[in-house]
Amino acid sequence: MSTNPPDTRIFSGDWLETTDPSCPHRYREGYAGTPAGTWNGWQVFTATPQVMDAIIDSHHTAALHMITAEVAGGAHLDEAWLHALQHLASISRLGDLVVVDTRVLQSDPTQVEILAPDTDGRYRVGFGWMWNTVDPADVHTVHGTIAADGPPPP
């Protein structure tokens, strides 16, 4: 089973910022991961399967909220689903594989990314999203764990 190396940090993005003014944290969620470079200036990291599951679950919740709001506004369920896909990627699991499908979002039939765990059982997380390293104290819910001596500064 994969574990977090000592250089584990917490990653989040502006889409995960809290909208609850009573919450003392800037971000609703953050994810433990190991830096793995950048893509277009944004952080890319590797994460355990458990953290990847938390990312997928959070994304599914966001999609469900969007679909529910559309249906409540009078849209048919299939229209609400397509509306969500025009604003969010579709992320699913097929066994150990993670499929990030942005074909509708990008209007490009080639935009599908399929991720397999590396030899350490970790997944590379980026998806073209704007991830940043954040202070764990700024995060309401951290998925995964950091080294006992804490993460390096962002």
pLDDT digits (tens, 9 = 90+) for 18-39: 888 898 999 999 999 999 999 8
Q: What pLDDT shows up at residue 4? A: 54
Q: What pLDDT shows up at residue 19? A: 87
Domain spans of the chain, in order of start:
9-143
Q: Of residues 60 and 146, which shows the higher confidence score?
A: 60
Confidence of residue 152 (pLDDT cuts 50, 70, 90): very low
Closest to 132 measured CA to CA, from 31, 6, 18? 31
What CA–CA distance (Å, rounded) separates 90 from 35? 24
What CA–CA distance (Å, rounded) separates 59 from 64? 9
What CA–CA distance (Å, rounded) separates 64 from 84? 8
Partners of residue 10 on adjacent β-strands = 32, 134
